[in-house]
Amino acid sequence: MAHRKKIIAGNWKMNKTATEAKPIVQDILLELKDYDNCDIVLCPPFTALTAVSEALSSVQNIRLGAQNVHQAASGAYTGEISAAMLRDLYVRYVIIGHSERRQYCGETNEIIRQKTKTAIGGSLKPIVCIGETLTEREEDRWKAVLTTQLEEGLAGFTEEDLAEIVLAYEPVWAIGTGKTATPAQAQETHAYIRTELARLFGQSTADHMRIQYGGSVKADNAKELLNQPDIDGALVGGASLEARSFVGIIKNACGA
C-alpha cells in the first residue's frame, strides 16, 4: 500500500489584498513554521502572490499556489497569466478546473486538460478539481460525471505526468454552502475515483495519486474526513481565510 502524505491547500479565491495577506501568513507561520505532518499550500489571488511568496521565503514546508494558469505559454491573451510568470514568483502548485471556473468562465474538461499539460510542462504541480452538481448527485449520475471528468481532463497523460498531479474531489453542492459530504459519502466517492484511476492508468498510479476532499471543510469536521482511507487531504476555501481556522484544520486532521 503506497504511503500518501496528506496535502492541505487553502484557496483564498478572490479575497485578500496583498496588504491583507501578509498578517495572515505571519500568523500561520507562528503556528506552522516547522510543521511537517502534511504538505501545506497557500493559494492567494494573483495580486497577493508576491507578498505571500516573500513571507514564505524563509520556510520550505509551506508552498505557494496559484488559482489558475493559461494554457498557452505566452502571447496575445489579455488578462491571462502564464506558467512561467507563476514560476518566476516561486509558485509551485496551481489549482485547475475549480467548479467556479467551470461554471463562470466556461472551462471545459478539454481546457482543463490543456491547462494541466501546460502546468506540468512549466514545472507547476496541478491541483485538478472534479466534482458533481447537486442535481447530478440527486439523479445518481455522479459516477458517470466523475468518470467523464477524469477520462477527458486527464486524457493522454503519462505515468510521470500523473505523478505531478493532485486531484481535488469537490462536490459542487458542498462548496461554500456549509453542507459537507458525510465522511462515509466522501470515502465512497474517493474510493470510486481511485478505482477509475486504476482502470484508466493502472493500479500503481492510482495508489500513489493524492485525492483531496473539498467542500465546507472546517476545523471540526476535518479529522473525520481526512481519517478516511482514500481521502489524502483537503482543499479549503472559506476556512482558509483566517489563520486560526486554517491552522485548526491542519492540526486537527494531521496532528498538533
Which residue numbers are catalytic?
A: 98, 170
Can residue 238 be called a binding residue for ligand PEP (CB under 6 A)? yes
Taking the alpha carbons at both ends of the chain, their separation in whole angstroms is: 25
Residue of 149, 216, 221, 245 interacting with ligand PEP (CB under 6 A): 216
Total of chain residues touching ligand PEP, rule CB under 6 A: 14
Residue 45 makes contact with ligand PEP by CB under 6 A: no
What is the DSSP annotation of 38-102? Answer: SEEEEE--GGGHHHHHHHTTT-SSEEEEES---SSSSSS-TT---HHHHHHTT--EEEES-HHHH
Which H or E element spans position 196? helix 183-201
Task: For residue 60, give every residue at least 6 positions away whose Cβ sits within 8 Å of its Cβ, in sequence order, or none.
Answer: none
Contact pattern from residue 128 through residue 167 relative to ligand PEP, giving x for each residue in contact according to CB under 6 A and a dash for the rest: ----------------------------------------
Considering only residues 44, 126, 214, 233, which one is a binding residue for ligand PEP as defined by CB under 6 A? Answer: 214
Q: By beta-carbon distance, which residue lies closest to ligand PEP?
A: 237
Nearest to 96 by CA among 178, 27, 29, 165: 165
Contact present, 121 and 83 (Cβ < 8 Å): yes
* 13 versus 194: smaller Cβ distance to ligand PEP: 13
Angle at which helices 109-121 and 142-153 cross, to 10° = 40
Q: Is 215 in the site for ligand PEP (CB under 6 A)?
A: yes
Q: Identify which of residues 126 and 237 has a Cβ nearer to ligand PEP in the complex.
A: 237
Stretch (H or E) spanning 240: none
Q: Which of 6, 8, 11, 128 binds ligand PEP (CB under 6 A)?
A: 11
227 SS3 class: coil
Q: Is 65 in the site for ligand PEP (CB under 6 A)?
A: no
In the complex, least distance from residue 178 CB atom to ligand PEP, rounded to whole angstroms: 8
Residue 225 is a binding residue for ligand PEP (CB under 6 A): no
Question: Taking the complex as a whole, how short is the minimal distance between the CB of residue 239 and ligand PEP, in angstroms?
Answer: 6
Q: CA 98 to CA 215: how far, in whole Å?
A: 12
Q: What minimum distance in Å lies between the beta carbon of 73 and ligand PEP?
A: 27
| Length of the chain counted residue by residue | 256
Q: Which stretch binds ligand PEP (CB under 6 A): 15-23, 202-210, 231-239, 242-250?
A: 231-239
> Which of the ranges 36-44, 77-85, 139-147, 211-219 carries the binding residues for ligand PEP, by CB under 6 A?
211-219
How far is it, in rounded angstroms, from Cα 249 to Cα 40? 11
- Give me the residue label for grid cell 502564464: 82
The helix or strand, by DSSP H or E, that contains position 23, with its residue range, turns out to be helix 18-32
CB of 214 to ligand PEP, least distance (A): 4
The residue ranges that bind ligand PEP (CB under 6 A) are: 11, 13, 170, 175-176, 214-217, 235-239
